[in-house]
Structure 1
Amino acid sequence: MLYPSKLAVGQLLGERYRVVELIGSGGMSHVYLAEDLRLPGKWWAVKESVDPGITEYASGDIVAEAELLISLNHPRLPRVTDFYPPDKDGYSYLVMDYINGVTLSRYLELHPGPLPWDQVIQFAMQLLEVLKYLHNQRTPIIYRDLKPSNIMLTGQHELVLIDFGIARSYGRAGDDDTSKLGTVGFAAPEQYAGHSQPASDLYGLGALLLHLLTGGKYCSWQPGLESRLPGVVPPEFIPILRRLLRQRPEERYPSASSVLEALALLNPSDRTRVEETLECLTSRVTDAVVVSLAGTSSGLGTTHTSLAIAVRLSKYGRTAWVDGSPDGVVFQNLYALVQGQEHVPTGMNAVPSFVWNNVHYWSCPGKENSRFPEGSYSFIVLDLGTLSEEGALEEFNQSDVPLLIASGADWRLGELLHWLRRSRLEPQKGWKVGLPLAGDNAAVLLQKALGTAEVYALPLQHDPFRSKGRLSDVLEVMLKEAIAMRKPQRRSALFRGKRQ
């Protein structure tokens, strides 16, 4: 039954989100495109769900879905930014990333017939990447409904999983699911008996891949299929597909990583792509929004700016500043400053971090370890110096907000372009460039030269730890996307109001 919506085009949700249009409906929910009035130009998807049986003590699946999504942070999962719990009628609202694309089911309608092997293997690796992330949580999360209508495809052919309405945490003691859920054809056999585990998602992956490779004709293994697929896929892939689709979960692959390793053996070109995916999966994982800073040369104010950014971000969530250089000189000098000493205190090397004015300051753990500190943070500000340390360039490119610091002198703007060419860097959309002590004209000139990156003139501010001032105001504008991406640390920050 499709319940009527309480929202309408033009209506405001929470005095912040203006409903623009209805973009999808299901039996118990509607999804709207909404404009963020606090962040002009930012769009969100608002999912209105209905649980008419809601009570003060039973919050329903939508609350479970919200709590689940709030705890996750992965590029192939939508980020939740706001949640309005069920009202007296059972209506609740989840505000999440708007994924600009089409569902995979719609894409298949527009492209009838089997999908090309190269495209299917690319999709497989992307899905294995996110399944590995979900299954490797402290308490593994089972998606349980891997089907085309629950997968969004962006214009860059990137996949994003949506609709976590029936996902659940995996109880290793073998406890039953509260209900037998999943989509017929794509759900593993054990789900119909009320059991699910990581291997259930691997079955769903196999069913989806077979569906894509046969133009929607099959999603479970049928006798004789092995004679029809060799012309479509490499023969070596058929045993992999059959193992994914085994009826008994213990006969399937033990993990998403093991499936990726099996795919790496198919042929050299596929192996390269799979190894790149595996390398990405084993890199750092942090729930924080990472802002990394790099200077085109020393003495430009990279560290000064990074400290000011950490102070500014600390207003919006728990923030860590990290000295990205293994020698830790800046960190040591900061510690001496806080201790009121002119020189580094005795035993300084034994101090990995300290807290000052609500910012956590960390020394770099060293090349053999991640540059990311222990603990749960909303923001991590990473000072990478001039990118001279091993791995610093890769860390800069992979961060959520890469910020390049260059000279603000008009006659030195060309140096930045030469530096980018020497470093073999191509400014990407989302990059930001800061010009300390520059005028607005210099920023406009460089903006035109770069084309994609955002360029900001950074006013003089002698004390980077000041929480107010012209520099702080510019940083607020520069960091608005990072602030919008922050991941709240407390559940109460997203659960607005009380249940009616």
Structure 2
Amino acid sequence: MPTMGSEVGNFDMEPFIEVDPTGRYGRYSELLGSGAVKKVYRAFDQEEGIEVAWNQVKLRNFSDDEAMINRLYSEVRLLGSLQNKNIIALYSVWRDENKDTLNFITEVCTSGNLREYRKKHKQVSVKALKKWSKQILRGLDYLHTREPCVIHRDLNSSNVFVNGNTGQVKIGDLGLAATVGKNHSAHSLLGTPEFMAPELYEENYTELIDIYSFGMCLLEMVTLELPYTECDNVVKIYKKVTTGIRPLAMNKVKDLEVKSFIEKCLAQPRVRPSAADLLKDPFFDTILDDEDGDGC
């Protein structure tokens, strides 16, 4: 695809480190974030003239498991069919055989993830927390009511993203998402320990694990503290979670309405509400649909 480079000259141009097979997307060297298997770089969509995120998975991590590579590829492609204003949009996916990488282009939010945004802005009202929460639940409701149902499986405040100038919140990092059949049951163990529902550890769970994780996200938003910081290893977190012991951070939640709402999200699976149920909760009665950032 032709670019404007030759027409405007090459002065002070930031070079692309990599370009996608179509020539539309160019990757810069700046790293926006990284995880166990994925790195996210700042990139540019030359066709639309907008910044995007270039996600890259090193497939050598799965070099002995071609089935896993194919599943990862097909699941990421499936995510491209998701269209919701509270879900990070996926634009393009391809596998680079030469570099042994899986690459996918997603939209980028201007203010980064919710964890860092909340740390930066410590004076936040309960109303603002409700607005963010409502948008996260809308995204989850969209995922959970699809056919087949999509379970995020790793929802935490580092993969919820913010456009700070509009207050819009979007769920991202769907790389660990699973699609499940009519019984809505999945069976693999993964996620971020502090945010994992007890039934996830038992490897037999439904989309309601995302509601538990959302509850822990809200707890972190309120307290500015990761759940279970009192535990110095994963084993201790596991013991507390599976025996139903709440994180000490719960004691810091002084607003009884907020505390009660979090407890609903952390309840046992048989009584844990769905995202649709929570959106109807009186907790959100004071938040109008046109003022929660969704209309921007």
Task: Give the TM-score normalised by the residue count of structure 1.
Answer: 0.47
Contact 2:227/2:248 (8 A) holds in 1: no
- Structure 1 segments, 4+ long, off by >6 Å, are 223-227
Spell out the pairing of 1:394-405 with structure 2 (5 A cutoff).
none
Matched, 1:66 2:76: yes
User: Does the CA-based 8 Å contact 2:195-2:227 persist in structure 1?
Assistant: no
CA distance in 2, matches of 1:186, 1:223: 11
The secondary structure found in structure 1 opposite 2:52 is strand
Which residue in 1 is equivalent to 2:93? 83
Letter in 1 for 2:266: L
* 2:19 equivalent in structure 1: 12
**Residue 34 (structure 1) shift:** 2.1
The answer to whether residue 120 in structure 2 is matched with residue 110 in structure 1 is yes
Given that 2:162 and 2:169 are in contact with CA atoms closer than 8 Å, whether structure 1 keeps it comes out as yes
Say whether residues 1:256 and 2:275 are aligned partners.
yes
Q: Which amino acid in 2 is paired with 1:211?
A: E
Shift of 1:153: 1.2
Shift of 1:229: 3.1
TM-align CA RMSD? 3.0
Aligned pair partner of 2:191 in 176, 182, 186: 182
Contact 2:144 2:207 in 1 (8 A): yes
* SS across alignment from 1:250: coil
Name the CA shift for 1:93/1:36 in 2 (closer, same or farther; >3 Å).
Answer: same
Tell me the equivalent position of 1:316. none
C-alpha change, 1:108 and 1:277, in structure 2 (3 Å) is closer
**Aligned partner of 2:102: which letter?**
S
User: Any conservation in 2 of the 1:261–1:274 contact (CA below 8 Å)?
Assistant: no
Quick check: 2:130–2:287 contact (8 Å CA) kept in 1? no
1:273 aligns with 2:287: yes
Matches within 5 A, 1:454-473: none
Instruction: Report the equivalent of 1:167.
Output: 177
Q: 1:73 to 1:229 in 2, by over 3 A?
A: same
Matched, 1:242 2:249: no
- Please tell me whether residue 47 in structure 1 is matched to residue 66 in structure 2: no
* Residues 158-200 of structure 1: per-residue CA shift (max 9 Å, x gap): 11111111111133446542x3011111111111121231211
> 126, 130, 141: which is aligned to 1:121?
130
8 Å contact 1:61–1:165 — kept in the other structure?
no
Once the two structures are superposed, what CA deviation does each residue of 1:244-278 show, in whole Å capped at 9, x if it has no partner? 112x211211x21211222xx24xxx414256699
**Structure 1: 5+ residue stretches without partners:** 1-7, 281-397, 399-427, 429-500
Asked if the contact 2:153/2:177 (under 8 Å) is kept, the reply is: yes
1:194 aligns with 2:213: no
Describe the shift of the 1:129–1:50 C-alpha distance in structure 2 as closer, same or farther (beyond 3 A).
same
Partners of 2:285 and 2:226 lie apart in 1 by: 28
Contact 1:115/1:215 (<8 A) preserved = no
Identity level (%): 23
Partner of 2:3: none
Higher RCO, 1 vs 2 (CA within 8 Å, ≥6 residues apart): 2
Q: How has the CA–CA distance of structure 1 residues 276 and 257 changed in structure 2, closer, same or farther, with 3 Å as cutoff?
A: farther
Q: Which residue of 2 aligns with 1:133?
A: 142
Instruction: Give the corresponding residue for 1:393.
Output: none
Deviations 1:54-77 (A, max 9, x none): 566553454134223112001122
Q: Is the 8 A contact 1:44 1:95 kept in 2?
A: yes
Aligned pair count reads 261
Aligned partners of 2:36 and 2:286: how far apart in 1?
43
**For the structure 1 residues 193 and 21, does the alpha-carbon distance in structure 2 shift closer, same or farther, using more than 3 Å as the test?**
same
Q: Is the 8 A contact 2:227 2:249 kept in 1?
A: no
Q: CA–CA distance in 2 between the matches of 1:106 and 1:189?
A: 26
| Gap change, CA 1:271 and 1:99, over 3 Å in 2 | same
Q: Which has the larger radius of gyration?
A: 1
Equivalent pair of 1:170/1:196 in contact (CA under 8 Å): no
| Secondary structure of the structure 1 residue equivalent to 2:129 | helix
1:21-32 map, 5 Å: 21-22=29-30, 23-32=32-41
Cα deviation 1:360-392 (Å, max 9, x = unaligned): xxxxxxxxxxxxxxxxxxxxxxxxxxxxxxxxx
Q: What's the counterpart of residue 94 of structure 1?
A: 104
2:178 aligned partner, one-letter code: R
Establish whether residue 222 from structure 1 lines up as the match of residue 236 from structure 2: no
Equivalent position of 2:7 in the other structure: none
Distance 1:140 1:274 in 2: 28
Would you say the 8 A contact 2:189–2:203 is kept in 1?
yes
Give the residue type in structure 1 aligned to 2:275: A
